[in-house]
Amino acid sequence: MKRRHKMKRGWRWLVAFAVLFALASGIPGKADTTTNTTPNAQTLAARVNSWMHRRSSSSQSSSMITPSQQKAESVLTPAVKEQLGNSIVWNGAGAFIINDNKTNLNAKINSAPYAVDRLDSQGRAWQGDAWLNKTTRQYRNRSETGNGATNWKPAGFLQATNLKNGPSHAYDRGHLLGYALVGGISGFNASESNPKNIATQTAWANEARSADSTGQNYYEGLVRKALDQGKQVRYRVTDIYDGNNLVPSGAHIEAKSKDGSLQFNVFVPNVQNNITINYSTGAVSYQ
């Protein structure tokens, strides 16, 4: 038994060494043949972070089941369509392309970065409008900047948990202007309890971030990448409500970079495959 135990420990060390070697080489199971130098700690850390991100994205994709077209179109009532315009095209990945992906945002401006959040006439979180650059990016965790967890709930936040066949919960505190994009702007309330910037949003609509499951986080990722590359980006998110509903039907998201390399105009429906929402109250029924 002792001999077997030692052999198991030996195998664990061998596997651990193989993983470390693979990470250091940048390609699992394959040595780096482009250079004979050993990666420094910063390079190795970057490769580990990249590897972890790929694993996280893969895990996220498997849990964030993309809503069907029928599910997504369930929120496109006449009142919602009127606010979005005539050109609304399914993108095959959970969302809709508006106006051929073109926006009328003016990105040819010269000013300091800014972020403005607005309530509508009924006091609902309605629109976030921003002019962004790399200085507006926030790389620190919420808990490090005093914007951590909160018990505050936006209107219609009637949570449901332990769900199956998709995200395990119904709702997130859905931001209009994301923390990672505007958290570096002094004076802007990037917390999860800002009633001008937070509305009730499904877990899928908020978190999904893969090319085949395009929730709000996917489009924010395009903006994050542009900012990290030193670009300036005009960015606007408008929550679309049907009448007096407490819960928005979805988020109309627009972006345009000053150099013209980034532009999109989309609508992310506030839906999720494993639930049905009463948008007037926020009540959830399971599917």
By annotation, the residues acting in catalysis are 175
* Among the listed residues 253, 167, 179, 244, the one whose alpha carbon sits nearest the alpha carbon of residue 203: 167
CA dihedral sign of residues 52, 56, 62, 63? positive
Q: Residue 129: name the closest of 141, 114, 139, 143 by CA.
A: 114
CA–CA dist 84, 19 (Å, integer): 49
Six token digits for residue 88 = 């609304």
Beta bridge partners of 268: 251
The total of other beta-carbon atoms located within 10 Å of residue 57's CB is: 13
Find the radius of gyration of the CA atoms of the chain: 22
List the alpha helices (DSSP H) in 168-271: 179-182, 203-207, 216-228
Q: Which residue has the tokens 């542009």?
A: 226
C-alpha distances in angstroms, 1 versus 8, 13, 106, 260?
11, 19, 73, 67
Beta bridge partners of 236: 129, 254
Contact 176, 128 (CB under 8 A): yes
The residue to which tokens 């949570």 are assigned:
159
Sign, CA torsion 98/104/110/113: negative
Contact 217, 271 (CB under 8 A): no
Task: Indicate the SS3 state at residue 175.
Answer: strand
